[in-house]
Structure formats: structure tokens, C-alpha cells
Amino acid sequence: MSLQPAGGDQFVNVTGVGSVVVSNTGVALRRIIIPGTYVGSVEFYNSATVAGTAASNNIINIGLPNTNQYRSIDVNANARNGLVYAATGTPVLTFTWD
């Protein structure tokens, strides 16, 4: 497996805590790549702003500890309003979107 996204996809490395607006327009969350062991959680939301992180906007939660080896999760979810992630703990992962 490669750490590079498929052609055309953009990628973001999550390495710290907080909420981040990835895009304030419609996008598709393609894949989440978990490279190792860490403790925390990362939640993805269908929202154009950090204020839109309500449960009804949640796309997927990655709850950790993750003690597995390298893993890739295909999500392929449309976020019509935008894409926000909220990270806690010591998250280390990459996700691709377009």
C-alpha cells in the first residue's frame, strides 16, 4: 500500500488535537489511513463550519486506542455542506478527499 492518495484526491495529515475546517463546500471523504498505534479519536462532520459539529452532521467516528498495524478504511461519503474533523488525544492519521 502506498501512503500517497489516488490521482486527483487531496490529502490531510492529522497530527494534533482540535477542530479543523477542511473544506467549506461539498466534497467526498474518500479514505482514512491509520499508520500505527495511538490513543484518541477523530470525528468527521458534514459541515462548512466548526460550529456545525452536531451529532446529526456526523459522518464517521474513529475511536481509539488503535493497536492494529497499518490500516486503510474506504469511506466514500459525500459531505454536501463541507468537511470538518475534530481530533482528541494523540491522533496520527491521513485522510483523502476530493
pLDDT digits (tens, 9 = 90+) for 5-15: 556 789 998 88
- Threshold 0.95, pTM exceeds: no
Q: Which domain holds residue 26?
A: 11-97
The whole-number pLDDT of residue 29 equals 96
The answer to whether 84 touches 52, Cβ cutoff 8 Å, is yes
Q: C-alpha distances in angstroms, 30 versus 12, 74, 75, 89? A: 12, 6, 5, 23
The whole-number pLDDT of residue 2 equals 46
- Count of structural domains within the chain: 1
The whole-number pLDDT of residue 66 equals 59
User: Would residue 68 count as lying in a domain?
Assistant: yes
User: pLDDT tens for residues 8-63?
Assistant: 789 998 888 999 999 999 999 999 988 876 778 899 999 999 999 999 999 999 87
User: Would residue 2 count as lying in a domain?
Assistant: no
User: pLDDT tens for residues 61-85?
Assistant: 987 665 566 788 899 999 999 999 9
* Backbone angles phi and psi of 55, in degrees to 5: -55, -35
Here the cell at position 31 is 479514505
Which DSSP symbol is given to 30?
E
Alpha carbon distance 95, 97 (integer Å): 7
Can you give the CATH number for the domain in which 49 is found? 2.60.120
User: Would residue 4 count as lying in a domain?
Assistant: no
Alpha carbon distance 93, 13 (integer Å): 6
